[in-house]
Structure 1
Amino acid sequence: MLITSPKQLGIYLRDVRRNQRRNQTKVGDIVGLKQTTVSKLERDPASSSIESLMRLLSSLDLELHIQDKAVSREQAKLRDPDDW
């Protein structure tokens, strides 16, 4: 999943949590975050700490991967047009 803004990140985190059929309290409890912190990460991740983000990712069984934009553009060029 390519995420290019804090808003997209918050929406993605919320959607993953909902798809796992878990509430904010449950995912927070797993890694020691309050429900209000999870809510803040979903609504406004730009104002949240990296530590809280990493904890929430762990609770949702997600990983953070960082990739050079040039590599992403090159991979896009190699995609089969029929994939769209």
Structure 2
Amino acid sequence: MKITSPEQLAIFLKDARKKEKLPQDQLAEKVGLRQETISKFENSPAKTQVETLFKILSAMNMELHLEKRSENSTTQAWKEEW
């Protein structure tokens, strides 16, 4: 899946969490976070600390892979994001 914004990432992870039938409080407990922290990430991902993101990924047994955008998509993506 191609994810290019914090909002898309939050939606993807929220959907994955629900698919696993994993409530926010149980996810939070796995990595020592508060349920409110998980909720804030899912609803306002742009304000989330990178460390929190990696804790969530770890609790969901996921990892992050990055790849360089093509030259043509970079200019268009910046216009869309800003």
Q: In structure 1, what is the Cα distance between the partners aligned to 2:19 and 2:54?
A: 19
- Quick one: percent identity of the two aligned structures? 41
The within-5 A match list for 1:3-82 is: 3-70=3-70
Q: In structure 1, what is the Cα distance between the partners aligned to 2:33 and 2:65?
A: 22
TM-score by length of 2: 0.82
Bigger CA radius of gyration: 1
* 1:26 partner amino acid: Q
Q: In structure 2, what is the Cα distance between the partners aligned to 1:17 and 1:57?
A: 10
Q: In structure 1, what is the Cα distance between the partners aligned to 2:60 and 2:42?
A: 13
1:44 CA drift (Å): 1.1
* 2:53 partner amino acid: L
Which ranges of structure 1 fall in alignment gaps of 5 or more residues? 74-84
Off by >2 Å, runs of 4+ in structure 1: none
Q: In structure 1, what is the Cα distance between the partners aligned to 2:19 and 2:46?
A: 23
TM-score by length of 1: 0.80
